[in-house]
């Protein structure tokens, strides 16, 4: 691994930009939404493709993440080859996701960094490279929808070079 760090660019999270990596879980007008419960409730419908794999079961957990300090250096990435993994923020705070295309081993030049608002969740599609949870500002809870089942479902790789996420303004 070369030691020359690469400064990474932070992008705002949008459905379009994140589409190669999975789904954005967000209650906005771009979602399929309709009124239910005699007008009391708006349903934002079918926002993410939850994929527990052929031999797995979808499970719901909560991750309580400590805040990361910026600048943050990305030295590894992981993927879940058997299933998707969704993160829905419960604490209303922003967080970061770092992703790379599932087709090949991630190189630092391939990394995409998204700043997610506290009302935006993400669902990593099966096999998408991502960094483990990057909470910001304070201890933050996230609802997680991922897989329980047989076999190993987490590949971890070191980065070819460090990627540095700068301080956000």
Q: Which residues bind ligand UGC (CB under 6 A)?
A: 85, 130, 132-133
User: Closest by alpha carbon to 65, among 83, 86, 91?
Assistant: 91
Nearer to ligand UGC, 31 or 115 (CB): 115
Six-digit token string for 49: 């493709």
Nearer to Ni ion, 7 or 156 (CB): 156
Q: Min. distance of Cβ 78 from Ni ion in angstroms?
A: 5
Other residues' Cβ atoms within 10 Å of the Cβ of residue 154: 11
Nearer to ligand UGC, 144 or 164 (CB): 144
User: Closest by alpha carbon to 123, among 35, 69, 52?
Assistant: 52
Using a 10 angstrom Cβ sphere, with 0-12 exposed, 13-18 middle and 19 or more buried, the burial of residue 38 is: exposed
92 interacts with, out of ligand UGC, Ni ion, none, CB within 5 to 8 A per kind: none
166 interacts with, out of ligand UGC, Ni ion, none, CB within 5 to 8 A per kind: none
Sole window of 1-9, 53-61, 80-88, 97-105 interacting with Ni ion (rule: CB under 5 A) = 80-88
């Amino acid at each position: 691994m070369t030691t020359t760090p690469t400064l990474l660019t932070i992008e705002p999270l949008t459905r379009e930009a994140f589409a190669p990596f999975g789904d954005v879980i967000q209650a906005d007008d771009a979602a399929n939404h309709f009124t239910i419960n005699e007008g009391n409730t708006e349903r934002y419908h079918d926002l993410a493709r939850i994929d527990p794999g052929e031999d797995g079961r979808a499970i719901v957990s909560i991750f309580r993440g400590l805040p990361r300090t910026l600048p943050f250096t990305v030295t590894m990435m992981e993927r879940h080859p058997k299933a998707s993994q969704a993160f829905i923020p419960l604490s209303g705070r922003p967080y970061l996701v770092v992703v790379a295309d599932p087709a090949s081993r991630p190189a630092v030049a391939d990394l995409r960094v998204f700043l997610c608002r506290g009302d935006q969740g993400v669902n990593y599609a099966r096999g998408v490279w991502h960094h483990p949870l990057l909470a910001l500002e304070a201890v933050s809870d996230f609802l997680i929808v991922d897989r329980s089942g047989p076999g190993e479902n987490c590949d971890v790789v070191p980065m070819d070079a460090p990627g540095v996420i700068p301080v956000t303004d």
